Amino acid sequence: MNIGGLAARAALLKEQMKKRPCKRCGLLYDPTKEKRCPHCDQLDQKGLEALIEKRKREHRGNKQLGKVFFIVALVIFMLMQILWLA
């Protein structure tokens, strides 16, 4: 097992544990470094709604990309099975 990799992973996890979700926009921020959420603090209600909608669109896009990768992996797997049996 790679000790350096474990240490880096532990450091990353420790850094992520400091972050909390913003009650207003839901994005993570570090309250020990910033008093207010840097994502939505300067936004009015309309800007906040636009930020949340943008985040939802990105999430949907990532979900679609995941489906595409799954289908491609399935096709590759089936081709490998066909070639192996031939």
For 44, the 3-state DSSP assignment is: coil
Q: Which parts of the chain register pLDDT below 70? A: 1-2, 4
**Which residues touch 19 (CB under 8 Å, ≥6 apart)?**
28, 29, 30
Distance CA 40, CA 53 (A): 13
Indicate the domain borders of the chain.
Answer: 3-85
Beta strands (DSSP E) in the chain are 20-21, 28-29
pTM to 2 decimal places: 0.62
Work out the angle at residue 44's Cα, subtended by the Cα atoms of residues 42 and 45, and round it to the nearest 5 degrees: 140
Question: What's the pLDDT at 8?
Answer: 84
Question: What's the pLDDT at 1?
Answer: 53
Question: What's the pLDDT at 15?
Answer: 76
Distance CA 65, CA 70 (A): 9
Question: What's the pLDDT at 21?
Answer: 92
